[in-house]
Amino acid sequence: MAANSKRIFFTYSSDDDDELLYKELSPYFLAYKRKGLLDIIDKDELFRLNGDPNKISEFLSKSDLAIQLISVDYLNSDECLQLLEKATAENKKIVPVLLRPCDWESEDKLRRFKEDFFPENNQSIKEFAESPADKERIFTELAQVIKQLAFPELGHVKITKGPKTFYILLASILLLMGALSAVFVYVKLAMGLTLSLIVFLMFGCAALFALKNVLFPTQIKIS
């Protein structure tokens, strides 16, 4: 472990879905690990380092951040909740990540971290990852979130998702306005087909710009 690196401790359930999502997420930290920025502690690393489940809490005590990957199976895991309680008692920086949809607000130990959840708006990683491209983007941004939380001087990052319905409606209105304007220019002003097409294309470009928020909905907010 490099002298200036931060140790990140991941807590997640032994459910197959949770472990699969974590295994898909973990490669996005390798670049930071190679550079000596982050040292990752997860179940595989704990087994490699020690193999003694009774010493898990010792590794948590030596960590800088405690990342909680929340799911219904996490909520049903005594081990996960005990590690959360220990991290809270030791004043660790706790980052709850909603891995899969669940009623996490029913758990008293998590409600206090409501403002710290990623992604925000009570949406889960699984809901964000609607396609392979979405999954790659959200995992990349989550890795950036954790890196920047480990090094506060880089700023605080939150993940948000643009409202698709609004942008689709906006694009539709722009296209309709473009069509009506083109007809008006061609019929009423008799300014020719070329100018009419230019007018329509101007509105079309504006519509495409609005649709980029649907095609690439995940954004990063830095405060």
Asked if residue 119 has a cis previous peptide bond (ω within 30° of 0), the answer is: yes
Which of 51, 100, 42 is CA-nearest to residue 76?
100
- Output phi, psi for 45, to 5 deg: -70, -40
Name the residue range of residue 178's domain: 164-218
Q: Exposed, middle or buried: residue 52 (CB in 10 Å: 0-12, 13-18, 19+)? A: exposed
- Give 221's pLDDT tier (boundaries 50, 70, 90): very low
Is the CB of residue 149 less than 8 Å from the CB of residue 92?
A: no
144 and 79 in one domain? yes
**Same domain assignment for residues 129 and 100:** yes
Coil, helix or strand at residue 71: coil
Mean pLDDT over residues 193-202, rounded? 84
Neighbouring CB atoms inside 10 A of 27's CB total 10
Are 13 and 103 within one domain?
yes
User: What confidence score (pLDDT) does residue 198 get?
Assistant: 86
Same domain for 133 and 178: no
Domain limit, last residue, from 105, 133, 155: 155
Query: Per mean pLDDT, which of 26-30, 39-43, 98-102, 170-174 is the most reliable?
Result: 98-102
Residues 116-143 have a mean pLDDT of 85
Q: If pLDDT is split at 50, 70 and 90, which confidence band does 217 have? A: low
pLDDT at 166: 67
Judge contact between 74 and 12, C-beta under 8 A.
Answer: yes
Tokens of 201: 């294309």
pTM: 0.65
Q: What is the pLDDT of residues 135-167, one digit of tens each?
A: 888 888 888 888 888 877 544 444 445 456 667
Complete edge-to-edge strand list for the sheet that includes strand 93-98: 38-41, 6-11, 65-70, 93-98
The domain tally of the chain equals 2
Would residue 223 count as lying in a domain? no
User: Could you report the per-residue pLDDT of 32-88, keeping only the tens digit for each?
Assistant: 888 888 888 887 777 666 656 567 888 888 899 999 999 999 999 999 999 999 999
